[in-house]
Structure 1
Amino acid sequence: MNRKIQGFIGLIGVVFIGIVVGCKEKKAKGELPMVSMPIEINKDSIVDKQKVVQELSISPYEALEALSDTTFVNLADYSEDFVFDMRYATENNFLKAKVYDCAECYTRVKTAKALLLANEDLMKKGFKIKFFDCYRPHDVQFKMWAIVPNPQYVANPVRGSIHNKGGAVDITLVTLEGEELDMGTDFDFFGKRAYHDNLDLPPTVLNNRLLLKQTMEKYGFWSIRTEWWHYNLASGSNDEIANFKWECP
């Protein structure tokens, strides 16, 4: 291990200690959200300082390699090649409500690494990934359930979602110029037209969905039948539900 990576790991330790202390203080003051079942604050550090990577002169992937797979990171800090349209930080979603204080896309390190590889593959073909949703704090899951308490549309927060574990993303594809590919429906369209096994769609739509699906599966993700946009990292389902919130500007 070279000195740069050792220095990076040391910095992570400092960040981790600060976060743990901060969480304990907030818990003691009753500032952490109250929910109807016990939840655990994720014990890993949250690393979102791209300038640290730049100062160490290592690639984003090398920086991720120096972290625990279960650490949360902000994707925007590790690649400028992603596109973001975080719908739940707006009212432009099926809930018709803003449930995030501000728009950020966090995932676990292992999810981020798989997404970087998938996006690199797609960019060679002229496309890149656009995100609608990423990690979702557990108390946001409760907010969504309060608005739409139907497991057909929102995962019951008692059980939780892989979104709450940092292992799920809602995505589509865009061209390198940012133009969305036609996937047949908008994000969060709940109907048969959004199903993966619905082949009664134009060839262009089917090909676009197939490109996304095959690429994501190649890098360890699996899809769900009813939502062409939703992908879970196979190794993410066993992680703990988390409830940290990122700081807003």
Structure 2
Amino acid sequence: MKLNCLIFFVLFAFCAVAQDKAHPSKKLVVISSYSQYLSSVKTNPNNELVEIKKAIPSIKLDIRYATTNNFMKQVMYKQARAFARKPVVESLKKIQAELKKKGYGLKIFDGYRPYAVTIAFHNKASDKNFVANPAKGSKHNRGCAIDLTIINLKTGKDVVMATPYDSFSDAAAAHYMPVSIEVKKNRDFLIASMQKYNFTVLDNEWWHFDYNGWENYALMDIPFEKL
């Protein structure tokens, strides 16, 4: 009886350790090898990081992290490019086509973000609520988050929103009130347009949209110049 109890205890302890090691929050896996990335694409074509501008030529880019016009006040990307996973870009293409019929278009601020940049953001940000925790990684690191806004095609200007992009203020929240009728209309229009094609807005950032199913994609740390 004692022997059986001992065996049970050992087996239980072994399983508990195995489960702990297998728990995703205990071990962060980040793909930093280009060959690993290519292998993942071969296994599943949806893993491809597609360059948004090449796939959707009409889309406008304003890649702030390739400039000093961002909360870091420094250039974080060597190239002003934007990437996202294949299904994400396919959805953006549909959104862009639908908006065009109404006289609007998308402007992209950021897409896939190398993991090393997320670490730099977290180290410098004064308000950690507005940056991803490197211990968990960012959905941007997975190529499944897009920062964007809507532009008026006639004027080429951004529609009015409650705050500028990358604002750390309370008014940056997706459902912050009170705001003007025009701002609420524009914000609701953006959110509804994105939700229709499988995106969810981040509560504290009206410009940030996560692609549903992001958890199926690995964290990445490959710079733009290698893609």
Q: TM-score, normalising length from structure 1? A: 0.72
1:109 aligns with 2:100: no
Match of 1:174?
Answer: 151
Q: How does 1:9-28 map to 2 (within 5 A)?
A: none
1:230 to 208, 214, 219: 208
Instruction: Return the letter of the residue paired with 2:66.
Output: A
Q: Which secondary structure state, in structure 2, belongs to the residue aligned with residue 211 of structure 1?
A: helix
Cα distance in 1 for partners of 2:126, 2:112 equals 20
RMSD over aligned CA atoms reads 1.9
Instruction: Return the letter of the residue paired with 1:129.
Output: L
Match of 2:185?
Answer: 207
Does the CA-based 8 Å contact 1:149-1:156 persist in structure 2? no
Cα distance in 2 for partners of 1:195, 1:146 equals 22
Cα distance in 2 for partners of 1:153, 1:122 equals 28
Q: Which has the larger radius of gyration?
A: 2
Displacement of 1:184: 1.8
Question: Of the two structures, which has the highest relative contact order with CA contacts closer than 8 Å and spacing of 6 or more?
Answer: 2
Displacement of 1:91: 1.1
Match of 1:195?
Answer: 173
In structure 1, the gaps of 5 or more residues are 1-36, 47-66
In structure 2, the gaps of 5 or more residues are 1-27
1:142 aligns with 2:119: yes
Query: CA offsets per residue over residues 16-54 of structure 1, 9 Å max, x none?
Result: xxxxxxxxxxxxxxxxxxxxx7522363449xxxxxxxx
Match of 1:71?
Answer: 48
1:39 to 24, 30, 33: 30
2:139 to 162, 182, 186: 162
Does the CA-based 8 Å contact 2:130-2:204 persist in structure 1? no
Give the number of equivalent residue pairs. 192
1:84 to 58, 61, 68: 61
Query: CA offsets per residue over residues 76-130 of structure 1, 9 Å max, x none?
Result: 1112111010011111111212111121101000110011011111111110100
Query: CA offsets per residue over residues 165-223 of structure 1, 9 Å max, x none?
Result: 00001000001142110012100112221222223111111000111000100000001
Instruction: Return the letter of the residue paired with 1:212.
Output: L
Match of 1:241?
Answer: 219
- Select between 188-197 and 68-77 the one with higher mean Cα deviation: 188-197
* Percent of aligned pairs sharing the same letter: 30
Q: TM-score, normalising length from structure 2? A: 0.79
Match of 2:23?
Answer: none
Does the CA-based 8 Å contact 2:112-2:146 persist in structure 1? yes
Q: Which secondary structure state, in structure 2, belongs to the residue aligned with residue 216 of structure 1?
A: helix
